[in-house]
Amino acid sequence: MDSLPWPQGKKLVHLDLKGAPPRVEYLHQLIECFSILGADGLLVEYEDMFPYEGDLKLLQASAQPVYSPGEVLSLQRFAAAKGMEVIPLVQTFGHMEFVLKHKSLAELREMPHCVGTLNPHKEESLRLVMEMLRQVVALHPGLNTLHIGADEVYMLGEGETSKQWLASQGHTVEQLFLSHVTKVAKAIKEAWPHLNIVMWDDMMREMSQEMLTASGLVGLVQPMLWDYTPNLDVEKTVSLLEKYHTAGMSELWAASSFKGSTSVVTNVPRTQRHVENHLQWLKVAASISSGIKLKGIAITGWQRYDHLSVLCELIPVALPSLAACLQTLIHGQLSTEAEGQVTKLLGVSSVEAEAMGSVSSAVPSFPGRKLAESVLELNILLDTEDIRFFENSMFVRGWLSHHHREKKTVNPLMGVQIHNQASMYLTTLQEKAEAVREEMVLLYPEATAQEWLEEHVQPVMAPLKRILDDVAVCVKDMVS
């Protein structure tokens, strides 16, 4: 039986700006595209792209200019004109890598080698978090909802102060987590009583209903359950939602994914995987009790797994996936009608990016289409075994082995053939990589293009360059 459409609440698109932050002009184009595709809100995770001031200025990105206050405001105005609510996400416990990586703030880490988790015992920790929030709220006039993160608080309880605290009878890591989050939530409510507070739910999943009820969080926060897998356990997820509801947390959110959740090194998303994730969420929404108020769903598009990991799929190659996911929520399935909407709105022949076809002037084109096509063309080359594994080919292993290179003894005829083949591969890669770079810098900072190319292209080009250098040395030794 087909699922019903997403029943109620917002359909937020997650903008993860801690990697590949779009240029402002492109950001506006994307917001308009999201609106056309059916989204009515944005979950914006600024991280180091927010224009923090004063003592927090050190949090600003150094690789590229951060968004200016005027640009942050223009983003909101542009979104509002499209009927879209903007919800900022500011991490306040875990995943604070962009804050705690700085040596001047290292004393606020739970563990010296864990740059993501804040020490919940220090008063300065709460002051830091509240100053970050104050600056973000101040630059979001008319703000209604704030997301405080609090997912994946790794190593909590491992710090020396935490161990002393846990040594007291009845103290647990769960209570330590709840204590800090409750302090943050109460401080927010005291400063901005009208704000709705959303937080990730994963650290509370194993807690009992009784513990949650007694935590002090009831009435303060709205948990957002996240699961990005295509085989999401519907029964288990419904049970979790019901537990939160019974504990007194009746206003709840869901979080799915359109990119950035397959693997840390995925370059092009597979739309079907993400559609299946949304189909599972539709089953969850259709199965919960009437007392649960679903506030909406955040369709996440992670750009990094954390602040210090590599870049995930870029937005342009993931727009077909996002469009398919949104249409799945709107129609209750990726029906022929829903798929037709995607291909019509984006001007593609398939919802799968790798099969979307070339652009035609006769059909609409989505923002970033040329970059998406360039990335896909380059990706095909990078995945070609003859190129990626040329160093392990019969000719290189047979006539340009490590022994040959050490002794500088090579059959000149075979060396020239190897050189010519490697040179051809390298030239082709360089041409395609330059085409990607030219398109990418139009939409993203130079630093993003450099990072993306170093991440995806250099590991394939480097062995080819070594082969060219080694052949040149060996052949010269043999024929001179």
Q: What is the secondary structure of 369-386 as a DSSP string?
A: HHHHHHHHHHHHHHT-HH
Instruction: Give which of 204, 197, 151 is closest to 175, Cα–Cα.
Output: 204
pLDDT tens-digit series, residues 26-77: 999 999 999 999 999 999 999 999 999 999 999 999 999 999 999 999 999 9
Q: Which amino acid is at 453?
A: L
Cβ pair 425, 387 in contact under 8 A: yes
pLDDT tens-digit series, residues 231-279: 999 999 999 999 999 999 999 999 999 999 999 999 999 999 999 999 9
Distances (CA, A) of 151 to 34, 123, 229, 355: 26, 21, 17, 35
Instruction: Give which of 382, 381, 369 is closest to 315, Cα–Cα.
Output: 369
Give the pLDDT score at 409: 87
Computed on alpha carbons and rounded to an integer, the radius of gyration of the chain in Å comes to 25
**Total Cβ atoms within 10 A of residue 327:** 25
pTM (2 d.p.)? 0.94
Give the pLDDT score at 363: 57
Q: Which residues in the chain show pLDDT less than 70?
A: 1-2, 358-364, 480
For 145, phi then psi, to 5°, come to -135, 140
Residue 228 and residue 314: Cα distance in Å, rounded?
Answer: 18
Q: Which amino acid is at 272?
A: Q
Residue 448 and residue 432: Cα distance in Å, rounded?
Answer: 17
Distances (CA, A) of 306 to 75, 102, 271: 24, 15, 23
H or E segment to which residue 136 belongs: helix 123-138
Q: What 3-state DSSP class applies to 281?
A: helix
Q: What 3-state DSSP class applies to 11?
A: strand
Residue 340 and residue 187: Cα distance in Å, rounded?
Answer: 48
Give the pLDDT score at 423: 94
Instruction: Give which of 40, 33, 52 is closest to 9, Cα–Cα.
Output: 40
Instruction: Give which of 189, 124, 199, 121 is closest to 158, Cα–Cα.
Output: 121
Facing residues of 237 across strands?
none
Distances (CA, A) of 359 to 29, 322, 349: 18, 19, 10
Give the pLDDT score at 2: 60
Among the options 71, 131, 152, 242, which is catalytic? 152
The three-point CA angle 319-324-325 to 5° equals: 95
Mean of all residue pLDDT scores within the chain: 94
Residue 30 and residue 316: Cα distance in Å, rounded?
Answer: 9
Give the pLDDT score at 358: 61
Residue 423 and residue 430: Cα distance in Å, rounded?
Answer: 10
Catalytic residue list contains 152: yes
Residue 322 and residue 334: Cα distance in Å, rounded?
Answer: 12
Nearby residues of 168 by Cβ (< 8 Å), 6 or more positions away:
none
DSSP for 69-85? HHHHHHHHHHHHHTT-E
Token couple for 244: 């939160």
Q: What 3-state DSSP class applies to 143?
A: coil
Given phi > 0 = left and psi -120 to 50 = alpha, else beta, which region is 248? left
What crossing angle do the helices spanning 69-81 and 24-37 adopt, rounded to 10°? 20
Percent composition of the chain: helix, strand, coil (DSSP 3-state, to 5): 55, 10, 35
Cβ pair 147, 87 in contact under 8 A: yes
